[in-house]
């Protein structure tokens, strides 16, 4: 609000009263010199002087303020970017050139010929030219006078184009008239730009929600707190694991840990993510029904604003089909044991691991006794059945021990055992030998036994040195197997390196 500061007049009046009292005191102090009549006239003269001085100074200061106020109004009225109008009561007393240019008037008289007051202008505008909207059903000028300061938005349609204004109105009470000054700032471009931004934001939000839903539906994602307790799972995770959301949220992540996964893998995983690093690797996961699925995993730490780890998020890709294909490529179709191709790979891996970790290593070669005679007399179909039965004994025996079982070819099988010691390795292989005999599979042409038996040769390495190669290991195990057959079959022979 622009108004005259009355405090200045009061200050001047008090100052003049002080001057008068001072002069009056001086007059009284010279009372002996002046006659009573002279004293009275001197007092009257001093009082008149102070009053005239006070009024003059007050008028001068007030005119100075009015001058500044009018200069302020002139500055506003010279604005090219804003439409400014001033009112005297409800009568439009002045406006800047932008007002006339926008509304199509040339003079104030032309405006008054069409509109009697500001209220009529704002509320009863000719619809063919421009329409004032969004008044909220209130008398606009009355609202300004009651609220002193008002700021809101409105719109005018001019020549078919909508113009949006930021409207500010201020009540003024100088030069003895009730006035108001109203500034229309055309914010059409800003409003259009904001509307465009809002439209883009809505579109982006819609797209983002669509992408989020796509991710939720198709990407296997889960989040957990620092203890591994699940806090979020995607729909794809639920669909793939067959668990319900209620069965997963709040449970430890090991709910989907498959027993085939070595504990060392999870130790490495936790060590990595607890350091704030990303762990990448493949995991075999358990399905609620007892099945499994393989995933390629990227597990990321979640950080707060201070850089502290507050949880973990795992993004998984289902690679079950790929793993099945891989398993088929390394699996013997008849026995479901690993095939010779995978043996050639794993023997090198285990040799290197034994060297680097200073572990014991045992390689076992097994051959079914007189198997050619079995095939010749019982037929190859029955022979295949024997191979499957022996393979099951291998698999069940290895379930609680560290090792791999292979079908190396024909009736020949292999075992890689690590890190069992010498006696444990011998006992373990002897157990398999006994289990095959106890299976009691008829073999009338297996001399001295009458059932299917097998001979085993073990090459046990106490310390794997850099010179030992897989071919040499195989050769030594094969020599032990020959000794077992030479010594009567259905037995185990051990060679220590």
CB 292 within 8 A of CB 286: yes
pLDDT by residue (tens digit) across 334-393?
999 999 999 999 999 888 888 888 888 999 999 999 999 999 999 999 999 999 999 999
To which CATH superfamily is domain 219-324 assigned?
PAS domain (3.30.450.20)
Mean pLDDT in residue range 214-231: 92
Neighbours of 329 (CB within 10 A): 10
Which of 61-70, 116-125, 127-136, 192-201 is predicted least confidently?
Answer: 127-136
d(CA 88, CA 39): 51
Three-state DSSP class for 138?
A: coil
Report the pLDDT value the prediction gives residue 261, as an integer from 0 to 100: 85
pLDDT at 90 over 70: no
Round the average pLDDT of the chain to a whole number and report it.
81
Cα distances from 478 to residues 413, 459, 473, in angstroms, run: 11, 8, 9
Return the CATH class of domain 78-186: alpha beta
pLDDT by residue (tens digit) across 324-336?
888 889 999 999 9
3-state secondary structure 277-337: CCEEEEEEEECCCCCEEEEEEEEEEEECCCCCEEEEEEEEEECHHHHHHHHHHCECCCCCC
* Res. 19 pLDDT band, cuts 50 70 90: low
Neighbours of 356 (CB within 10 A): 9
d(CA 332, CA 74): 98
Q: What percentage of the chain reaches a pLDDT higher than 70?
A: 72
pLDDT at 80 over 60: yes
Q: Which helix (H) or strand (E) holds 457?
A: strand 454-461
Three-state DSSP class for 124?
A: coil
* Res. 131 pLDDT band, cuts 50 70 90: very low
* Res. 200 pLDDT band, cuts 50 70 90: very high
Say what the pTM is.
Answer: 0.54
What does DSSP say about strands 454-461 and 492-496: parallel, antiparallel, or unpaired? parallel
186 or 250, higher pLDDT: 250
3-state secondary structure 213-267: HHHHHHCEEEEECCCCEEEEECHHHHHHHCCCHHHHCCCEHHHHECCCCCHHHHH
pLDDT by residue (tens digit) across 462-485?
887 777 888 999 999 999 999 999
Q: What is the CA radius of gyration of the chain?
A: 51
Range list of H helices, 93-187: 97-103, 108-114, 118-123, 140-147
d(CA 444, CA 441): 10
Closest CA to 416 of 398, 441, 400, 438: 398
Mean pLDDT in residue range 78-104: 71
* Res. 129 pLDDT band, cuts 50 70 90: very low
Most confident segment among 107-111, 186-190, 284-288, 401-405 = 284-288
Q: What percentage of the chain reaches a pLDDT higher than 90?
A: 43
CATH numeric code, 330-496: 3.30.70.270
pLDDT by residue (tens digit) across 237-265?
999 999 999 999 999 998 999 988 888 88
Mean pLDDT in residue range 4-33: 56
- How would you label 96-122 residue by residue, b for 16+ Cβ within 10 Å and e otherwise? bebbbeebebeeeeebeeebebbbebb
Which of 72-76, 186-190, 200-204, 223-227 is predicted least confidently?
Answer: 72-76
Residues 6 or more apart whose CB falls under 8 angstroms from that of 304 comprise: 310
């Amino acid at each position: 609000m622009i108004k005259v500061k009355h405090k200045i007049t009061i200050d001047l009046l008090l100052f003049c009263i002080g001057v008068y009292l001072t002069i009056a005191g001086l007059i009284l102090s010279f009372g002996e010199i002046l006659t009573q009549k002279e004293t009275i006239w001197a007092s009257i003269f001093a009082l008149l002087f102070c009053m005239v001085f006070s009024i003059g100074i007050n008028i001068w200061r007030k005119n100075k303020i009015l001058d500044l106020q009018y200069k302020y109004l002139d500055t506003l009225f010279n604005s090219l970017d804003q439409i400014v109008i001033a009112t005297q009561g409800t009568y439009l007393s002045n406006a800047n050139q932008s007002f006339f240019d926008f509304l199509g008037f040339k003079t104030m008289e032309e405006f008054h010929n069409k509109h009697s007051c500001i209220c009529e202008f704002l509320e009863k505008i000719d619809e063919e030219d421009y329409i004032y909207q969004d008044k909220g059903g209130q008398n606009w000028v009355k609202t300004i006078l009651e609220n002193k300061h008002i700021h809101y938005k409105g719109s005018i349609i001019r020549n078919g184009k909508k113009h949006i204004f930021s409207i500010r109105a201020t009540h003024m009470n100088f030069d003895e008239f009730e006035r108001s000054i109203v500034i229309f700032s055309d914010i059409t471009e800003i409003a259009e730009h904001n509307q465009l931004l809002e439209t883009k934001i809505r579109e982006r939000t819609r797209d983002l929600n669509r992408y989020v839903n796509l991710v939720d539906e198709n990407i296997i994602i889960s989040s957990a707190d620092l203890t591994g307790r699940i806090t979020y799972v995607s729909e794809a995770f639920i669909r793939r694991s067959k668990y319900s959301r209620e069965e997963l949220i709040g449970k430890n992540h090991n709910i989907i840990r498959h027993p085939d996964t070595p504990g060392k893998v999870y130790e490495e995983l936790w060590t990595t993510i607890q350091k704030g690093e990303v762990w990448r690797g493949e995991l075999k996961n358990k399905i609620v029904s007892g099945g499994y699925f393989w995933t390629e995993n990227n597990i990321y730490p979640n950080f707060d604003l201070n850089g502290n780890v507050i949880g973990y998020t795992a993004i998984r890709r289902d690679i079950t089909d790929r793993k099945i294909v891989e398993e088929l490529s390394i699996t013997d179709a008849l026995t479901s044991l690993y095939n010779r191709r995978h043996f050639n790979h794993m023997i090198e891996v285990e040799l290197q691991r034994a060297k680097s970790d200073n572990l014991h290593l045992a390689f076992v070669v097994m051959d079914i006794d007189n198997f050619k005679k079995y095939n010749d007399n019982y037929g190859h179909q029955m022979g295949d059945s024997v191979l499957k039965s022996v393979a099951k004994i291998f698999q069940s025996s290895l379930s609680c021990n560290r090792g791999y079982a292979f079908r190396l070819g024909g009736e020949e099988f292999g075992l890689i055992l690590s890190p069992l010691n010498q006696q444990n390795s011998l006992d373990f292989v002897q157990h398999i030998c006994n289990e095959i005999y106890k299976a009691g599979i008829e073999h009338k042409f297996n001399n001295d036994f009458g059932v299917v038996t097998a001979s085993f040769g073990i090459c046990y390495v106490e310390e794997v040195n850099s010179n030992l190669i897989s071919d040499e290991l195989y050769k030594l195990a094969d020599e032990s197997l020959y000794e077992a057959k030479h010594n009567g079959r259905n037995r185990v022979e051990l060679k220590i390196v």
